[in-house]
Chains A and B, each alone.
Chain A
Amino acid sequence: MKIVVAIKQVPERDAQVRIAPNGKWIDEADLQWAMNEPDAYALEEALQLKEKNGGEIIVLSAGPERVGSNLREALAKGADRAIAVICDDLNARDALGVARLLASAIKPENPDLVLTGLQSEDVGLGQTGVIVAELLGLPHATMILHVEKTDAGLTVKRELEEGWFQSIELPTPAVLTMQSGGNKLRYATLMGIKKAKTKELRTASATELGADGVSTVVLEQISAPKKQKSTQILPGTAKEAAAALVEKLKTEARVL
Chain B
Amino acid sequence: MTDLLPTLAEPQHFFAWERFLFATLAVLSILGFWRRFGPILGNILQSKKDPGFHLFPIGRRVRDFVWEVLLQGKVIRERPLAGVAHALVFWAFCAFALVTLNHCAIMFGLSFLDPSGHVGQLFFGFAALFAVACAVGVFGLFVRRFFVRPKWLGEVSWGSGLVALLIFVLMITYLAAFFLHGDGTASRALWWAHTITLLAFLPLIPHTKHLHLVLSPFTVFLSRDGFADIPPLADDDDFGLVVGKDLTQLVSLQAYSCVECGRCMEHCPANNTGKLLNPKEIVLGLRGYLNEFGPHSEEPLLGKYNAQEAAFECTTCGACEFQCPVGIEHVPIIVGLRRGAVNTGAWEDDYGAKLFVALERGSNALGISPAERDKFVEKNALPLFDGTQEYCLWLGCMGAYDPRGREIVLALVKIFAYLKVSFGVMRKERCTGDPVRRLGNDLLFQQLAEANLEALKQNRVKKIVSICPHCVRTIQEDWKAYGTPPEVEHHSEFLARFARQLPPIQNQEKIVFHDPCYLGRYRGVYEEPRSVAALAGELVEAPRSHERSFCCGAGGGLVFLGEERGERVSHVRAAELAATGASVVGTACPFCNTMFRDAFAEKGNGAPELMDIAQLAARGLPE
The smallest beta-carbon distance between A20 and chain B, in angstroms, is 20
**Number of B positions contacting A (CB below 8 A):** 25
Residues of chain A within 8 A (CB-CB) of B352 are 187
Q: Is the CB of A184 within 8 A of B360?
A: no
Q: Given that A184-B354, A186-B353 are contacting pairs, would A191 and B428 also be in contact in the complex, using a CB cutoff of 8 Å?
A: no
Q: How far is the CA of A191 from the CA of B347 in the complex (A)?
A: 13
Q: Given that A14-B370, A194-B236 are contacting pairs, would A189 and B350 also be in contact in the complex, using a CB cutoff of 8 Å?
A: no
**Number of A positions contacting B (CB below 8 A):** 18
Q: Given that A12-B361, A14-B363 are contacting pairs, would A187 and B344 also be in contact in the complex, using a CB cutoff of 8 Å?
A: no
Q: Is the CB of A187 within 8 A of B343?
A: no
Q: How far is the CA of A35 from the CA of B363 in the complex (A)?
A: 15
Asked whether A190 is an interface residue with its Cβ less than 8 Å from the other chain, the reply is yes
Our pick among A14, A188, A191 for the contact of B344 (Cβ within 8 Å) is A191
Q: Is the CB of A14 within 8 A of B350?
A: no
Complex interface residues of chain A between 176 and 202 (CB less than 8 A to chain B): 184-194
Q: Is the CB of B353 within 8 A of A188?
A: no
The smallest beta-carbon distance between A9 and chain B, in angstroms, is 13
Q: Given that A13-B361, A13-B362, A16-B428 are contacting pairs, would A190 and B442 also be in contact in the complex, using a CB cutoff of 8 Å?
A: yes
Q: Is the CB of A187 within 8 A of B360?
A: yes
A-contact bits for B346-372, CB 8 A (1 contact / 0 none) = 000010111011001111000001100
The smallest beta-carbon distance between A125 and chain B, in angstroms, is 22
Q: How far is the CA of A247 from the CA of B11 in the complex (A)?
A: 108
Q: How far is the CA of A211 from the CA of B420 in the complex (A)?
A: 63
Q: How far is the CA of A79 from the CA of B200 in the complex (A)?
A: 62
Residues of chain B within 8 A (CB-CB) of A190 are 239, 343-344, 441-443
The smallest beta-carbon distance between B217 and chain A, in angstroms, is 36
Complex interface residues of chain B between 488 and 525 (CB less than 8 A to chain A): none
Q: How far is the CA of A13 from the CA of B359 in the complex (A)?
A: 11
Asked whether A34 is an interface residue with its Cβ less than 8 Å from the other chain, the reply is yes
Q: How far is the CA of A34 from the CA of B357 in the complex (A)?
A: 12
Complex interface residues of chain A between 71 and 118 (CB less than 8 A to chain B): none
A-contact bits for B561-596, CB 8 A (1 contact / 0 none) = 000000000000000000000000000000000000
Asked whether B345 is an interface residue with its Cβ less than 8 Å from the other chain, the reply is yes
Q: Is the CB of A12 within 8 A of B362?
A: yes
Residues of chain B within 8 A (CB-CB) of A193 are 443
A-contact bits for B315-358, CB 8 A (1 contact / 0 none) = 00000000000000000000000000011110000101110110
Residue of A nearest to B233 (CB): A190
Our pick among B239, B353, B357 for the contact of A191 (Cβ within 8 Å) is B239
User: What are 12 sample pairs from A and B whose C-beta atoms fall under 8 A apart?
Assistant: A14-B363, A14-B370, A16-B374, A185-B357, A187-B342, A187-B345, A187-B441, A188-B444, A189-B344, A189-B443, A190-B442, A191-B344
Besides the contacts A12-B362, A188-B444, A189-B343, what 19 more A-B pairs have beta carbons closer than 8 Å? A12-B361, A13-B369, A14-B369, A35-B361, A184-B350, A186-B353, A186-B357, A187-B356, A187-B360, A187-B441, A187-B444, A188-B443, A189-B342, A189-B344, A189-B345, A189-B443, A190-B344, A191-B345, A194-B237
Which of B's residues lie within 8 Å of A, judged by CB? 236-237, 239, 342-345, 350, 352-354, 356-357, 360-363, 369-370, 374, 428, 441-444
